[in-house]
Structure 1
Amino acid sequence: MRPYIIIFSTVSIDGRLASKTGYSELSCPYDKQRQHELRSRVDAVMVGANTVRVDNPSLTVKYAKEKRNPIRVVVSGSFNLDPSYKIFTTPPLTIIYTSNLKNDKKIEVFNQKGVLVKKFTNIYDIFQDLYEAFNVRTVMVEGGGHLIWTLIKNKLYDEIRITISPKIFGNGVNLAQGEGFNGEDAPKLNLIDAKICECGNEIHLIYKQN
């Protein structure tokens, strides 16, 4: 068993999460509120390690009416993470899933901060563990591109919610940053909803798997 998985991202017109310099400020205030409203309704929010290193997010709820913070999950194969990042220094619970558990001293530092460090061998293990050990039934995945690609490649998602921001980067981090599909193998999703953002300059799309 696994949780219901929602990928949520805001991208440029050309499908980039960030520019070649790492700039990723794409959301208008209404989009941020939409993001945080969903964040407040899920059981866990997940990001890849590079998102933590580049953006240093807290992943708490700020712009929603209900200030309910989900469990935060960081996926890091290398365990190259600094314990001083915001996500490790503020509540609520944070879990790091890594395939590298060789640095016992670093694990102890995280444990002293109340951060759990757990081993995974494949991406399926993470969602099964969240479901069984932490009673997580819904997960919101907010990036980055490599993590999102892994989930899409392995069909480990139920919805993709995308906001199209009126910018063009021309280069940078793709929504799904990976080796890519052959054209005939690319998944074709079902469009569930499309609406113009309240700002009048963005579009929010909701897709589901076939």
Structure 2
Amino acid sequence: MRQAIALGQRGLGRVWPNPAVGCVIVKGGRILARGWTQPGGRPHAEAMALAACDARGATVYVSLEPCAHHGKTPPCSEALITAGVARVVTALTDPDPRVAGRGHAMLRAAGIDVVEGVEADAAHAANAGFLLRVTQNRPFVTLKLALTLDGRIATASGESRWITGPEARRMVHAMRARHDAVLVGAGTARADDPDLRVRGLGVGHQPVRVVALPQLDLDTDSRLGRTARDAPVWVLHGPQTTAERVAAWQGTGARALACPVAQGGQGLDPAAMMQALAGQGLTRVFCEGGGMLAASLLRAGLVDQMVVFSAGRLIGADGRAGLGALGLTRLEDAPRFRLMQVQPVGGDVMQVWTRAG
């Protein structure tokens, strides 16, 4: 099962809105075939593995309950029955209402031995984005911060390239590739004119590039505007944005999604933004700032994981803080995260934190 979960993770960033599932078929103590969900979400992991072997009488390990509904392809539960497998071991029940135990029930009704809940925690972590989209109508959010030792992201003049070294930047590109989308706020889009594509890794796909622009006041001649037909760009904008600005961005090839503004009118409502992205099928979002957007996501309790790159530099109090105001008056109200990993990356240090509780 651990191998099936690891195989499934090969699809992260490539299979949305589907889950990233892995499958291993075993008979007589020997692995007959392996499979994982393919780019675009199909073929499914079970179909890939079944196509590579004669699975009659075999045991199938799959990291999520086999699907039970007819879509673009027949259900995987039906395919497993037709293949004549003897036993199916799964990690999780699929919460999708079209499945939700029906796959397991189909297998049992056909006389197949079904074992559930094997390595469930690991499988849940691997597919947290899909599970959140189905159960909470939002994607899994990773917030990336590149900071000096004193928590600054730029000098007082706004200079920020480059706080971290080339090794850390390369790792960030790898992280982009494992998410469905990369998100930045209006301030970062205007100040840095970012490209946000994965570069230097030879990957054959690009994440959706998303920018939150309450007034849609970013020049269409920006890097995002000029490359919107080369790799997808979505712009999140407020309800008061003029039709002309929306049309201009749509003219670049970008997709425009309207969102309500937050209470008090400070930017777009973060929960509504995440719901809009989930509604389009996104399961994993990699937020690269800036400080105001990061703070709004943290205030709303929408950050599931933080990746912090710390560089051996100091800027001082006159530099720009890594986060905007959180509005805290009591320490006990501060968002809490649990340290999961610490790793040197070139001359920098990477820390990975997950939300506590």
- Provide TM-score, normalisation by structure 2: 0.56
Name the CA distance, whole Å, in 2 between partners of 1:102 and 1:124: 19
Structure 2: unaligned runs, 5 residues or longer: 1-136, 261-268
Q: How many correspondences in the alignment? A: 207
Matched, 1:71 2:208: yes
Q: Pick from 138, 144, 149: which aligns with 2:284?
A: 138
Name the CA distance, whole Å, in 1 between partners of 2:158 and 2:311: 16
Tell me which amino acid in the other structure corresponds to 1:123: P
Q: Which moved more, 1:184-193 or 1:170-179?
A: 170-179
Matched, 1:112 2:258: no
Name the CA distance, whole Å, in 2 between partners of 1:104 and 1:156: 30
Q: Which moved more, 1:30-39 or 1:56-65?
A: 56-65
Counterparts of 1:137-176 in structure 2 under 5 Å? 137-170=283-316, 171-176=318-323
* RMSD over aligned Cα atoms: 1.4
When Rg is computed on C-alpha atoms for both structures, the one with the higher figure is 2
Tell me which amino acid in the other structure corresponds to 2:194: P
Q: Pick from 341, 344, 347: which aligns with 1:193?
A: 341
Matched, 1:87 2:234: no
Q: Which moved more, 1:16-25 or 1:30-39?
A: 16-25
Q: Which moved more, 1:140-149 or 1:173-182?
A: 173-182
Task: Give the structure 2 partner of residue 3 of structure 1.
Answer: 139
Determine which structure has greater relative contact order: mean sequence separation of CA pairs < 8 Å that are 6+ residues apart, divided by chain length. Answer: 1
Give the secondary structure class of the aligned counterpart of 1:95: strand
Give yes or no for contact 1:101–1:119 (8 Å, CA) kept in 2. no
Matched, 1:23 2:151: no
Counterparts of 1:93-104 in structure 2 under 5 Å? 93-104=232-243
Name the CA distance, whole Å, in 2 between partners of 1:163 and 1:102: 35
Q: Which moved more, 1:97-106 or 1:24-33?
A: 97-106
Name the CA distance, whole Å, in 2 between partners of 1:100 and 1:50: 19
Tell me which amino acid in the other structure corresponds to 2:341: D
1:20 to partner: Cα distance? 0.9
Give the secondary structure class of the aligned counterpart of 1:50: helix
1:5 to partner: Cα distance? 0.5
1:186 to partner: Cα distance? 1.0
Tell me which amino acid in the other structure corresponds to 2:218: L
Q: Pick from 43, 48, 51: which aligns with 2:188?
A: 51
1:180 to partner: Cα distance? 3.7
Give yes or no for contact 1:10–1:164 (8 Å, CA) kept in 2. yes
Give the secondary structure class of the aligned counterpart of 1:168: coil
Tell me which amino acid in the other structure corresponds to 1:33: R
1:67 to partner: Cα distance? 4.4
Q: Which moved more, 1:123-132 or 1:159-168?
A: 123-132
1:173 to partner: Cα distance? 2.4
Give yes or no for contact 1:61–1:67 (8 Å, CA) kept in 2. no
Name the CA distance, whole Å, in 2 between partners of 1:124 and 1:187: 16
- CA displacement 1:132-156 (0-9 Å, x = unmatched): 22x1110000000000000111111
- Provide TM-score, normalisation by structure 1: 0.93
Give the secondary structure class of the aligned counterpart of 2:172: helix
Give the secondary structure class of the aligned counterpart of 2:224: helix
1:184 to partner: Cα distance? 2.5
Give yes or no for contact 1:40–1:69 (8 Å, CA) kept in 2. yes
Structure 1: unaligned runs, 5 residues or longer: none
Give yes or no for contact 1:7–1:148 (8 Å, CA) kept in 2. yes
Tell me which amino acid in the other structure corresponds to 2:167: Y
Name the CA distance, whole Å, in 2 between partners of 1:79 and 1:57: 16
1:119 to partner: Cα distance? 1.2
Task: Give the structure 1 partner of residue 31 of structure 2.
Answer: none
Tell me which amino acid in the other structure corresponds to 1:40: A
Name the CA distance, whole Å, in 1 between partners of 2:146 and 2:163: 6
Give yes or no for contact 1:145–1:176 (8 Å, CA) kept in 2. yes
